Amino acid sequence: MRWPPCACSREIHVGADRARGVIIRARWPEAAGRAAQTYAGQIQTVYLDPPFDTGKPYFLRLPVGETGWRKGKPMVELPAYDDRWTDGGYEEMIRAAIQTAHAMLKPEGALFLHIDPRRGPLARRLLDEVFGAGNYVNEIVWAYETGGRATGHFSRKHDTLLFYRRSDRLYFDIAAAAMPRARRHNHMRRGVDEQGRAYSAINSGGKEYRYYDDEPVYASDVWTDIAPLQQRDPRRTGFDTQKPSALLARVIGCASRPGDWAADLFAGSGTTARTAADMDRNFVSMDASDASVVTTRKRMLGCSFELDAPSRVPDGTECPALDAAIHVEGGVLNAALAGYDIGKAGVCPPDGLAHVDQWSFGIIRGGVFHAYANAARDRRSPALPDTLSFGEGPPGGEPAIAVVDILGRRIVFRGPSIGGRL
Ligand SMILES: C[S@@+](CC[C@H](N)C(=O)[O-])C[C@H]1O[C@@H](n2cnc3c(N)ncnc32)[C@H](O)[C@@H]1O
């Protein structure tokens, strides 16, 4: 049976993971006032990875159907964000995000702004202006070896993370940046102590300094131990400019404790939200792009979160169609998805659920979609389950299915009434 699309202002997801959070579609500078007010003084760590003003567009690449996920083809390329700016627009956008981050942070909080060396000086000036030069903590160099080599100049092989504190009450735990001590072949003397622990030692000023092999070393402000994601890395979401979780784990680990809130105002693929949740932190994930919202949604499906962005209601030029059935059995609601037609000629021929990337089954109450069961494709599970179930939730509402299709659209379809059970 065909289900009609309907309007939903928000989504509420109920997941088993301990972390919780929000995913919000927000564009800077427009959303700055509201975000600053809503989260004033509540956030422990903010990570900002804004566009770098590269003059290029960026994309989300989604494989189509099970075959696409297994073989890498076919694939659709959706616009994610455009990094081309008008005069002054770039600076205004970055300044608004920095001001919002400053308002959101707790007194113990920290901000990490990820930028490239070309735009670094502008970011540094704005950070000094908003946070105060006295709250500058570090300029971290994240160095990597990937990509091609230049011949007309030295190859550009690092980004910077500008680390500022909100106040002198900063919380910071260097132990979270512990690394195994690499044994260097240098001029130090090798030895083994009475307990059998190996060390390197050096004498200076009449004193012996020992460096035990089993003692960790702590990261300095030059990070060379975190690799960017390779093209074929299975953790890739398809969102250009995705950062590695290890980078965020170091930032979040050093600058927050479990139960704290971490925010990202340029969420992209949702790396901060995913890493924060994996480390038992809660998350606020904001971004202007629909491609970011659906990619982050997919990465967070195990968590409880609120998605604050209206779903798409297709107009006359688009006619996606959902074919599904529901039945109730022993207090459990079951939905079976029979087909989804993307309603656009030329994308690729309709083929069962091939055009569906994620789907959720739940209930609409008061214009809000409550998702109780979810399925999504990824490299590990490219086949999409065609049935979902959940035990009856609180009474009231209508059954509904939210689909995220391979055009990146999130559409909520209203189901048939099921005999007054909801
Ligand atoms: C470099 S990407 C972030 C990548 C992310 N760190 C990750 O790991 O996937 C920059 C993000 O900024 C977002 N963005 C660009 N302009 C924006 C604006 N004016 N307001 C909010 N977000 C914006 C883009 O949609 C994009 O997702």
Range 53-74 average pLDDT: 93
pLDDT higher than 60, residue 162: yes
Mean pLDDT of 181-189: 79
Assess whether 43 and 58 both reside in one domain: yes
CB 24 within 8 A of CB 283: no
**CA nearest to 241, candidates 25, 57, 26, 21:** 57
The C-alpha atoms of residue 380 and residue 378 are separated, in whole angstroms, by 6
Residues within 6 Å of ligand 1 by CB: 27-28, 49-51, 80-81, 93, 239, 241-243, 266, 268-269, 271, 287-289, 292
Q: Tell me the pLDDT band of 179, cut-offs 50, 70 and 90.
A: confident
Same domain, 35 and 158: yes
Pocket test for ligand 1, best of 56, 142, 266 (most atoms within 8 A of CB): 266
Residue 174, C-beta contacts closer than 8 angstroms, at least 6 positions apart: 218, 219, 254
Domain containing 35 equals: 17-179+220-301
Residue 231 falls inside a structural domain: yes
Enter the pTM of the model: 0.94
Which of these three, 271, 301, 331, is where a domain ends?
301
Alpha carbon distance 133, 125 (integer Å): 9
pLDDT above 90 coverage of the chain, percent? 80
Alpha-carbon distance values, 358 to 124, 166, 243, 296, 376 (Å): 40, 39, 22, 12, 4
Over the chain, what is the mean pLDDT? 93
Residues 268, 160 share a domain: yes
Average pLDDT over residues 406-419: 89
If one counts every other C-beta atom within 10 angstroms of the C-beta of residue 218, the result is: 11
Give the span between the Cα atoms of 383 and 69, in whole angstroms: 8
Tell me: pLDDT of 97 over 60.
yes
**Which of 56, 275, 292 to mutate to test ligand 1, by most ligand atoms within 8 A of the CB atom?**
292
Q: Tokens 């900002």 — which residue?
A: 48
Residue 51 contacts by C-beta under 8 Å, 6 or more apart in sequence? 81, 83, 85, 90, 266
Domain match, 293 and 405 both: no
Q: Are 202 and 236 found together in one domain?
A: no
How many structural domains comprise the chain?
3
- β-pair type (398-405, 410-414): antiparallel
257: domain CATH number is 3.40.50.150
Instruction: Tell me the pLDDT tens digit for each residue of 207-245.
Output: 999 999 888 899 999 999 999 999 888 899 999 999 999
| Residue 409, in any domain of the structure | yes
Same domain, 174 and 270: yes
Q: Are residues 32 and 69 in the same domain?
A: yes
| Substitution site in 81, 83, 113, 269 for ligand 1 pocket (most atoms within 8 Å of beta carbon) | 81
pLDDT in tens, 281-315: 999 999 999 999 999 999 999 899 999 999 998 88
According to DSSP, the β-strands at 356-365 and 332-341 are unpaired
pLDDT value at residue 264: 98
Q: Is the pLDDT of residue 184 over 90?
A: no
Expressed in angstroms and rounded, the spacing between residue 196 Cα and the centre of ligand 1 is 51
